[in-house]
């Protein structure tokens, strides 16, 4: 695999295309980005200077519905990264079986260097520069790395001013007061635990005797840990970016989260063995949940992973090279396009609520999420048998197959 994210995405597609025996013309269509947009837009800074920022919006494929995908604000944003992420969003929406295609966008910026007023002006200026490309039936952005519900609210407000009428369905991930959905903040973690429960059914894991390690206690990891414990699983390891805690008797999650909130770190929390994130990944457990950053399981440590199952809650936490080693060792990975699809699924529910001027209860949101995630897992598991391949490849094959079935004929 190369260091170019889009080349990696194409390599994954080609592998699945061979399995599905797709013709060259179809592979060419799936390998192409429908629209690749770069914008350079002005933002007035607090001191009166005008800075020019670069932003991207990549629209990969809309055969199954309007483009859908996050907007990230980061110095690391690149054209190749956003192209790859837009393709992965196409597969994720197809896995979840929601009527969206894939898109992704971003602005090259370090948000820590901006005041709130500068961030607001940047958000609105970016939307002005891409507003003709987006819309409730065209392309529906959402939050991603270093963007927030508040930023989404500013963007939706600016779009509504441009088109001359309130259009909340143009963007999802908004605050509830601005048309956002109840249950959205916990949806990704909750969806991951629904996946864990389905995995338990097909592999005969008993929750009470199933140990779980979660690397990363951000929004996704902390909700996953909480819901896993409530579902009867034994969480024996957790970590933040600097410190990991491991206790084979179980972690007191409430205490750990309170300590983290008060001290800004897990170091010194007590009642568990402290170690590095790298060491935590290699501890004894039934289920390992990487929920922080990409590429934490590599060919360098894959031989030392002791978990029987991996549920990928981060994006791309297992490198392709590591995946081959894990597969050879009989370790089953539930891929990120399935495991963490709870977020985009509830984004779809938010879009529906906005279009129909409805407000669902949190209970309804979670109930509908469970139906969608459960079906996605079962479909993926059955595809594993159908294609006689590993779970990751089967899930990708299922997604690609669904997109191919929706491709319009070329006239």
- How is residue 143 written in tokens? 């939050």
List the CATH code of the domain at 186-339. 3.40.50.720
Contact indicator for 126, 162 with CB cutoff of 8 Å: no
What's the predicted TM-score (pTM) here? 0.90
Question: Is 395:311 a contact under the CB 8 Å cutoff?
Answer: no
Q: State residue 286's pLDDT score.
A: 93
Which pLDDT score is estimated for 297? 83
**Catalytic residue check, 113:** no
Alpha helices in 101-218 (DSSP H): 116-130, 149-163, 184-203
Residue 137 confidence (pLDDT) above 90: yes
Q: Residue 301 — very low, low, confident or very high, per pLDDT cuts 50/70/90?
A: confident
151-178 per-position pLDDT tens digit: 999 999 999 999 999 999 999 999 999 9
Q: What is the DSSP string of 323-344?
A: HHHHHHTT-EEE-HHHHTTHHH
Dump pLDDT digits (tens) for 372-397: 999 999 999 999 999 999 999 999 99
The rounded percent of the chain whose pLDDT value lies above 70 is 99
Q: Where are the CATH 3.40.50.10860 domain residues in the chain?
A: 33-165
Could you give the C-alpha distances from 112 to 73, 125, 147, in angstroms and in order? Answer: 10, 18, 12
Query: Which pLDDT band, with edges at 50, 70 and 90, does 3 fall under?
Result: low
Catalytic residue among 83, 92, 104, 372: 104
Predicted local distance difference test score (pLDDT) of residue 293: 73
List, for residues 320-376, the tens digit of each pLDDT value.
888 889 889 998 999 988 999 999 999 999 999 999 999 999 999 999 999 999 999
Cα separation, 44 vs 80, whole angstroms: 28
Query: Is-contact 60 37, C-beta < 8 A?
Result: no
Looking at the domain 33-165, which fold is it?
Answer: Rossmann fold (3.40.50)
- Using only C-alpha atoms, the chain has a radius of gyration, in whole angstroms, of 21
Q: What CA–CA distance (Å, rounded) separates 341 from 201?
A: 20
Domain with CATH 3.40.50.720 in the chain: 186-339
Q: For residues 215 and 238, what is the distance between their CA atoms, to the nearest angstrom? A: 5
């Amino acid at each position: 695999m190369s260091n170019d994210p889009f080349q990696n995405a194409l390599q994954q597609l080609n592998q699945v295309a061979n399995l599905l025996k797709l013709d060259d013309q179809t592979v060419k269509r799936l390998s192409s980005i429908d629209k690749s947009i770069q914008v350079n837009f002005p933002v007035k800074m607090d001191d009166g200077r005008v800075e020019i920022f670069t932003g991207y919006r990549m629209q990969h494929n809309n055969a199954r519905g309007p483009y859908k995908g996050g907007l990230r604000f980061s110095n690391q944003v690149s054209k190749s990264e956003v192209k790859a992420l837009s393709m992965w969003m196409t597969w994720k929406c197809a896995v979840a079986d929601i009527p969206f295609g894939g898109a992704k966008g971003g602005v090259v910026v370090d948000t820590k260097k901006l005041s709130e007023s500068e961030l607001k002006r940047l958000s609105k200026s970016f939307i002005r520069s891409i507003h003709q490309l987006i819309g409730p039936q065209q392309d529906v952005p959402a939050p991603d790395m270093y963007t927030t519900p508040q930023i989404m609210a500013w963007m939706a407000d600016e779009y509504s001013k441009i088109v001359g009428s309130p259009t909340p369905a143009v963007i999802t991930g908004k605050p509830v007061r601005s048309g956002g959905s109840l249950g959205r903040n916990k949806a990704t973690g909750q969806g991951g635990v629904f996946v864990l429960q389905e995995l338990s059914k097909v592999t005969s894991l008993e929750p009470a005797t199933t140990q779980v390690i979660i690397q990363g206690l951000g929004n996704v990891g902390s909700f996953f840990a909480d819901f896993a414990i409530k579902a009867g699983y034994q969480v024996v390891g957790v970590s933040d970016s600097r410190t990991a805690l491991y206790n084979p008797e179980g972690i007191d999650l409430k205490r750990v989260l309170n300590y983290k909130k008060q001290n800004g770190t897990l170091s010194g929390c007590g009642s568990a063995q402290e170690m590095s994130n790298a060491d935590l990944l290699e501890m004894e457990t039934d289920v390992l949940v990487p929920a922080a950053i990409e590429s934490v399981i590599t060919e360098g440590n894959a031989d030392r992973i002791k978990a029987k199952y991996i549920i990928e809650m981060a994006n791309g936490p297992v490198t392709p090279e590591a995946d081959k080693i894990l597969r050879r060792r009989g370790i089953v990975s539930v891929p990120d396009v399935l495991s963490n699809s709870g977020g985009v699924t509830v984004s779809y529910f938010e879009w529906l609520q906005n279009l129909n001027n409805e407000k669902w209860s949190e209970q309804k949101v979670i109930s509908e999420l469970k139906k969608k995630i459960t079906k996605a897992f079962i479909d993926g598991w059955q595809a594993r048998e159908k294609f006689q391949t590993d779970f990751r490849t089967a899930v990708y094959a299922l997604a690609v197959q669904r997109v191919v079935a929706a491709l319009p004929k070329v006239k």
